[in-house]
Amino acid sequence: MTPDRSLCALVAYDGTEFSGFQVQANARTVQGALEAGLERLTGHFCRIHGSGRTDTGVHAHGQVIGFTLPWKHSLDALCQGWNRYLPEAIVVRQVVEAPAGFHPRFSATARTYRYTVYHPVAGALENVRRFPLFERFALVEKSSLDVGAMNQAAALLVGEHDFATFGQPAQGESTQRRIEELYWSAETGSLVRLDSPQLQRLVLTTTANGFLRRMVRNLTGTLLEVGRGTWQLADVSAALAAMDRSRSAPPVLPNGLVLERVDYSEYPHLFL
């Protein structure tokens, strides 16, 4: 009899073809694919717990999952074998022993997301409909954005606030969250030189102790309204203060969103 082991794993996925992370009847989900792959490898069904859900079409570079499994070989062999039974779009990056008391969701102390936008550095994109090379992992904005104003607005949202305007809590949860980081950075590189119209890649990075459902996409949509000049800084402050879901700007599409990493301050070196 092989004893059960408490394990956790670092997982990356291209969420384009999945109905989100969490398992659902009659839908292709990341959790469902991970559980099915593990069952094919080991012959045991085993429930997987994630650090949090990601919505339909949202990607992850560093999702963390936990599970309990009877396994007598090395964890590297588990990782390699599991990957053989996963679709191309999902990869288990590493499997390690879970420390005592570890839970992928409840032990998490910070989560970091990135949202990628391409915009023309000057002028507007005319006669350009879709961007098959960019749209899988980014939003393409048709007009030039004021990145400075977007970062001024972002600074208003950093800190501990009630984010009821920008997202939905799980049942019974508060809408209070603490945003540690929220800023846009413009990538430099040859794209800018080559493209006509010249496109620049902007990345929003945000870290918080947790995010409400849809919160990153709503915050991104709100900051884009500032970048377009449709919203002023005072509109952002007023929306935050209103604590009213109807006051958020519309959420952006999921394509550009990546769950970059999950931090566990009690277990700082969980994955190498």
Nearest to 239 by CA among 166, 151, 182, 147: 166
In angstroms, what is the minimal distance from the CB of 125 to a second copy?
A: 9
76 contributes a contact to a second copy by CB under 8 A:
yes
Figure out which of the listed residues 88, 106, 171, 172 binds a second copy, where binding follows CB under 8 A. Answer: 88
Rounded to whole angstroms, how far apart are CA atoms 63 and 104?
A: 9
Q: Is 203 exposed, middle or buried (0-12, 13-18, 19+ CB in 10 A)?
A: middle
Q: How far is the CB of 186 from a second copy (least distance, A)?
A: 8
What are the structure tokens assigned to 18, written together?
A: 């999945």
C-alpha–C-alpha distance, residues 219 and 235, integer Å: 13
- Element spanning 33, H or E: helix 30-42
- Residue 76 annotated to the active site: no
Q: How far is the CB of 164 from a second copy (least distance, A)?
A: 28
Cβ within 8 Å of residue 272, ≥6 positions away:
94
Nearer to a second copy, 157 or 258 (CB): 258
- Distance, in Å, from the CA atom of 176 to the CA atom of 25, rounded to the nearest integer, reads 32
Report the C-alpha dihedral over residues 164, 165, 167, 169, rounded to 10 degrees: 20
Distance from C-alpha of 264 to C-alpha of 272, rounded to nearest angstrom: 13
Q: Does 185 bind a second copy (CB under 8 A)?
A: yes
Return the SS3 of 141.
Answer: coil
Query: In this complex, which beta carbon is closest to a second copy, that of residue 12 or of residue 156?
Result: 12
**Residue 194 binds a second copy, judged by CB under 8 A:** yes
Query: Smallest distance, Å, CB 204 to a second copy?
Result: 9
CA distance 77 to 218: 41
CB of 76 to a second copy, least distance (A): 7
260 binds a second copy (CB under 8 A): yes
Among 5, 49, 53, 136, binds a second copy (CB under 8 A): 136
Report the residue number, 225 or 263, with the smaller CB distance to a second copy: 263
Is position 94 an interface residue for a second copy (rule: CB under 8 A)?
yes
Catalytic position from the list 4, 55, 235, 263: 55
Question: Which positions touch a second copy (CB under 8 A)?
Answer: 12-14, 59, 61-62, 76, 79-80, 83, 88-94, 112, 114, 126-133, 136-137, 185-191, 193-196, 201, 203, 205, 258, 260-261, 271-272
Residues acting as catalytic residues: 55
